[in-house]
């Protein structure tokens, strides 16, 4: 083993927050030259670089190259979102006969954990390299374990919660995100990653020609404030149907505001399940960019996925790939269904003391 070739994952500076906190990021690199950069601000995926035909790399997630923009204008680019990703109607809920009032930040509702959610917090960070640990030169997998302690009543949520988010980049070109949380009082929880992908390159074009498949027969229809009405409806014969690969732009004009909907992932299909230690993740969605042939496969343990077609991007945010205009990125946010606290028929999103919340999602990039 040539020790010269061993590169330890060391933090690099990403500047400071407005309050003067140091922000660090880590560069994870696999044997094919794929690179994931993750920062301790919001446990955020800053860039995901994949090798391209020109012998260089292409960044396929939207982001900024400085802290100031992440703090001022980021619509959750690459962030870890919590304590409850997506919406809670009217910013309040009842749990075990107690009423809780949350920070309201999206019309009448709470979105993505409130005004200062997990995406805006500084996390503890510990990098690891399983190649180094096992004496191999950068083999197997490497990553960063992020930890955050969310105080009791933070943004109105009960319970002190310890949260761990682990990003792992494998030599199979997977970016795996494992979440774990424990609480000392019952509380709702729904953690996700909010990366905006553009497989042609961040900032290069819109994503309307990307071909999307979502392994879901049903979705949760919403009201005018994007709160589920409580039913599950079939996607067949509607513009919501992505059961077979369809260009995102093919019917987007028929969907008011564009796609911003939660799909209930089919649980009975064993479409290429993956086993990660003792967790089984199912294939939830895949996306192909026709020009490059690049594909994104998304696997998750979660019952739902929010497909968001970047409807609110308007070109005002100029990031590391140029101006991010309408539909310049899409999100596939693995999650429990929105507003689950008000819908007893939806899969349970309450975490109780003594139990451990776990979520695993894998984004795998296939080149051609
Ligand atoms: C929501 C969108 C929202 C976006 C950015 C998505 O998860 O569903 O409605 O605009 O996040 O905040």
d(CA 247, CA 204): 17
76: exposed, middle or buried (Cβ count in 10 Å: 0-12, 13-18, 19+): buried
Per-residue pLDDT reduced to its tens digit, 18-51 = 999 999 999 999 999 999 999 999 999 999 999 9
- Return the residue whose CA atom lies nearest to atom 8 of ligand 1: 260
169: exposed, middle or buried (Cβ count in 10 Å: 0-12, 13-18, 19+): buried
* Ligand 1 centroid distance, CA of 206 (Å): 17
Q: Give the pLDDT confidence score for residue 272 in this predicted structure.
A: 59
Is-contact 22 39, C-beta < 8 A? Answer: no
CATH of domain 3-366: 2.70.98.10
Omega of the bond leading into 257 within 30 degrees of 0 (cis) = no
d(CA 218, CA 347): 14
Q: Which residue has the tokens 């992908």?
A: 197
Per-residue pLDDT reduced to its tens digit, 317-356 = 999 889 999 999 999 999 999 999 999 999 999 999 999 9
Domain boundaries, the chain: 3-366
- Return the residue whose CA atom lies nearest to atom 4 of ligand 1: 75
**Residue 194: pLDDT above 50?**
yes
pLDDT classification of 137: cutoffs 50, 70, 90: low
Per-residue pLDDT reduced to its tens digit, 266-279 = 986 555 567 766 67
91-100, 127-136, 190-199: range with lowest mean pLDDT: 127-136
Which ligand 1 atom minimizes the distance to the CA of 86? Answer: 7
* Ligand 1 centroid distance, CA of 100 (Å): 23
d(CA 218, CA 262): 9
* Ligand 1 centroid distance, CA of 277 (Å): 32
Identify the residues whose C-beta falls under 6 Å from ligand 1: 75-76, 226, 260, 306, 308, 312, 333
* Ligand 1 centroid distance, CA of 228 (Å): 14
What tokens does 218 get? Answer: 């049903």
- Return the residue whose CA atom lies nearest to atom 5 of ligand 1: 75
Of the candidates 27, 327, 333, 336, the residue annotated as catalytic is 333
d(CA 173, CA 114): 33
For the question of residue 194 being annotated catalytic, the response is yes
């Amino acid at each position: 083993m040539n020790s010269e070739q061993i590169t330890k994952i060391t933090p690099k500076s990403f500047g400071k927050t407005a309050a003067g906190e140091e922000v660090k990021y880590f560069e994870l690199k696999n044997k094919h030259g794929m690179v994931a950069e993750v920062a301790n601000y919001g446990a955020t995926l800053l860039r995901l670089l994949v090798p391209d035909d020109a012998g260089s790399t292409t960044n396929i997630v939207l982001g900024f190259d400085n802290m100031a923009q992440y703090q001022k204008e980021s619509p959750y680019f690459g962030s870890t979102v919590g304590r409850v990703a997506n919406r809670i109607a009217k910013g309040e809920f009842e749990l075990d006969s107690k009423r809780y009032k949350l920070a309201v930040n999206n019309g009448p509702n709470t979105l993505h954990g409130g005004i200062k959610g997990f995406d805006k917090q500084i996390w503890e960070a510990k990098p690891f390299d399983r190649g180094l640990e096992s004496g191999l030169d950068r083999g197997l997998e490497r990553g960063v374990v992020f930890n955050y302690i969310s105080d009791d009543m933070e943004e109105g949520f009960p319970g002190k919660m310890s949260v761990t988010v682990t990003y792992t980049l494998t030599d199979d070109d997977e970016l795996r995100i494992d979440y774990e949380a424990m609480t000392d009082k019952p509380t709702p929880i729904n953690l996700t990653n909010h990366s905006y992908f553009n497989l042609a390159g961040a900032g290069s074009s819109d994503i309307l020609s990307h071909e999307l498949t979502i392994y879901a027969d049903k979705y949760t229809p919403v009201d005018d404030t994007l709160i589920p009405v409580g039913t599950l409806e079939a996607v067949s014969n509607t513009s919501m149907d992505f059961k077979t690969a369809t260009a995102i732009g093919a019917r987007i004009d028929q969907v008011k505001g564009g796609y911003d909907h939660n799909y209930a992932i089919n649980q009975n299909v064993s479409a290429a399940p993956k086993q990660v230690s003792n967790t089984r993740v199912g294939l939830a969605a895949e996306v192909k960019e026709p020009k490059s042939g690049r594909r994104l496969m998304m696997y998750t343990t979660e019952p739902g996925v929010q497909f968001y077609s970047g409807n609110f991007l308007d070109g005002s945010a100029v990031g590391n790939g140029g101006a991010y205009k309408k539909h310049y990125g899409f999100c596939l946010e693995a999650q429990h269904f929105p507003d689950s606290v008000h819908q007893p028929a939806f899969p349970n999103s309450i975490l109780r003391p003594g139990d451990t919340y776990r979520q695993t999602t894998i984004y795998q990039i296939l080149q051609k």
